Structure 1
């Protein structure tokens, strides 16, 4: 069974969609992405949290916001912070390098 990774950032415009794109074809993974802001391109839903085996947030602040807004949906969920700042454009080569490096411990 594939491991389900959910990538989260604020707007779901740059970092989390890049992560979803680069890991979409990774063997043994299913991936999705969303944003924590109400006006995100894809706002996070409780259904996405229920689906995920592991939630990967870009910044410590995202974990705090996630816990504040969705505490009921997070029981038993593992959340990891990737420590990737909002300094990149979509599919930026340096962002891709950082994502591959920081996600390595969580990949099958």
Structure 2
């Protein structure tokens, strides 16, 4: 069914790298061979994950030290069987760039509470809250993948 999953946020510095790492880890534990990638709608090329996000991730057993941001491109979207975004605005933005992707773009939090706010620059508590929302969303998607 799904072979390639793409997770998007704005800058590919906080939410999408965290979701990518968590989704990859949980899919591997579940024995599901699904490739997971992340990108950003307004991302620069090659930036490391946000420092606070790395700390939050490490506190939950995830390593984001090898992450390098990248902007979404048509090839990534075409390759993906499912594209998960953090906010409705991300979905609209992506569909302006790639209208043909309409049938495969969903909110990551679709089954667990909706949009996941950006913690960038808002401190550790916001980062932990984002992690909690992302973790709940990943768990909700696992049974559907």
| TM-score (norm: length of structure 2) | 0.62
* Counterpart for residue 13 of structure 2: 13
**Structure 1, gaps ≥5 residues long:** none
Matching residue of 2:39: 34
Deviation of residue 103 (structure 1)? 2.8
Are positions 1:49 and 2:77 aligned together? yes
Taking a change above 3 Å as real, the CA distance of residues 38 and 93 of structure 1, as seen in their structure-2 partners, is: closer
Query: Rg larger in 1 or in 2?
Result: 2
1:25-72 superposed Cα distances (whole Å, 9 cap, x missing partner): 323132100000163630001111121111100001000100111224
Cα deviations across residues 73-99 of structure 1 (Å, max 9, x unaligned)? Answer: x16x41111310112579x44322211
Q: Distance in 2 between matches of 1:35 and 1:20?
A: 12
More strand by percentage? 1
Residues 74, 98 of structure 2: 8 Å contact kept: yes
Q: TM-score, normalised by structure 1?
A: 0.80
Greater share of helix: 2
Secondary structure at 1:24's aligned position in 2? helix
| Two-structure CA RMSD over aligned residues (Å) | 2.4
Equivalent in the alignment of 1:96: 131
1:87 — aligned with what? 119
Task: Identify the range of structure 1 (78-87 vs 31-40) with the bigger mean alpha-carbon deviation.
Answer: 31-40
Which structure 2 residue ranges, 5 or more long, are not aligned? 46-68, 110-114
Within 1, Cα distance between the matches of 2:70 and 2:20? 12
